[in-house]
Amino acid sequence: MTLPAALLTTAVSTREPKCYSKDVNAWFCLDYVRDRSDEITEATTTHVQITVAAVLLGLLIAFPLALLARRYPRLESTVLGVSTGLYTVPSLALLPLLVPLTGLTKTTVVIGLGLYCLTILVRAFLDGLRSVPDEVRESATGLGYGRAKLLLKIELPLALPVIMAGLRVATVSTVALTTIGTVVSEGGLGFLIAEGKSTQFNAELMTGAVLCVVLALVLDLLLVLAQRLLTPWARQGVRA
C-alpha cells in the first residue's frame, strides 16, 4: 500500500528537524522565535521594565546629589568619588549583597543598576548645570527669579542637552547590565542568553543578544526624539 503524494510529502516534512533542533542548532532561527514567542515576549518585557525602573531610580538619586555637590563644592569630590566607586563593585557581588534586603526579585536588580547609573548621571547633571552661562543666571536673578525658579525655569532647560547625553549613555549601558540579573533569577533577556549558553542552544543565545542590541537602539532613539521635543530652540539654532 502506497501513500498519496501529498501525504508522503507531509510525512517527510514532519520528520525534518527544525533549525533549532539538536541536529541543526542554527544561530538564526525564525522557527524558534515563532515557537517560543511567549517566552521571548515575557523576557523582553521584563528587560524593559527593569531597565526603565533602574534609570528612573538613578535620576531620582543623581539629581539631588548633583545639587548638593554644586551647592557645597567641598562635597563635590566626595559625591563624585562615591558615585564612581559604586561602579567598581562587581555586579556578581553587589546583587547577592542586596538579596537579604530585597530577596530574589526585580527590586534587587533595579536597585543595583540604579546605583551603577549614578556614575554617569551625577556627572551629567553637574556638567549640564555648569554649562549654563553665568550671564544668563545673573539676568534671571535681576528679573526676580528665586533659586528654585531659576533652577527649574532657566538652568535645567538649558542644561538638558548635556543631561540627555548622559542619560542616553546610562540607558544603553543599563540595557546591557540588566542581563546580569540572572544571578538573582531576574535578568530579562539575560535569561535567554544564560540558558542558551549553558545548554549550547545557539538560537536562544543569539535571539537574546540581538534583542538586547535592538532594545538599546530603540531606547536611545526614543531619548533622542524626546530631547528634540524638549529643546526646540536647539533645532532652531542648528537651522540658523
Share of the chain above pLDDT 90, in %: 34
Average pLDDT on 6-31 reads 63
Residue 141 lies in a domain: yes
Residue 240 lies in a domain: no
Closest CA to 57 of 113, 122, 124, 123: 113
> Looking at the domain assignment, is residue 126 inside a domain?
yes
Kindly list the distances between the CA atom of residue 22 and the CA atoms of 25, 39, 123, 203, in Å, as whole numbers in the listed order: 6, 20, 49, 11
Residue 25 lies in a domain: no
CATH number at residue 66: 1.10.3720.10
Q: Is residue 20 part of a domain?
A: no
Encode pLDDT of 36-57 as tens digits.
889 999 999 999 999 999 999 9
pLDDT tens digits along 75-96: 888 988 988 888 888 887 888 8
Q: Are 20 and 26 in contact (CB under 8 A)?
A: yes
How many domains does the chain fold into? 1
Question: Looking at this protein, which amino acid is placed at residue 144?
Answer: G
Q: Is position 154 within any domain?
A: yes
Asked whether residue 219 carries a pLDDT value surpassing 90, the answer given is yes
64: pLDDT strictly greater than 70 = yes
Range of 142's domain? 42-232
Q: Is the pLDDT of residue 113 over 90?
A: yes
pLDDT at residue 124, as a whole number:
94
> Does residue 138 form part of some domain?
yes
pLDDT score of 165 more than 90: yes
Residue 238 in any domain: the answer is: no
- Give the separation between CA 234 and CA 7, rounded to whole angstroms: 66
- For the segment 135-162, what is each residue's pLDDT rounded down to a tens digit? 888 888 877 778 888 888 888 888 899 9
Q: Which H, E and C letters describe the chain, residue by residue? A: CCCCHHHHHHHHHHHCCCCCCCCCCCCCCHHHHHHCHHHHHHHHHHHHHHHHHHHHHHHHHHHHHHHHHHHCHHHHHHHHHHHHHHHCCCHHHHHHHHHHHHCCCHHHHHHHHHHHHHHHHHHHHHHHHHCCCHHHHHHHHHCCCCHHHHHHHHHHHHHHHHHHHHHHHHHHHHHHHHHHHHHHCCCCHHHHHHHHHHCCCHHHHHHHHHHHHHHHHHHHHHHHHHHHHHCHHHHHHHHC
Where b means 16+ CB within 10 Å and e means fewer, 230-240 reads ebeeeeeeeee
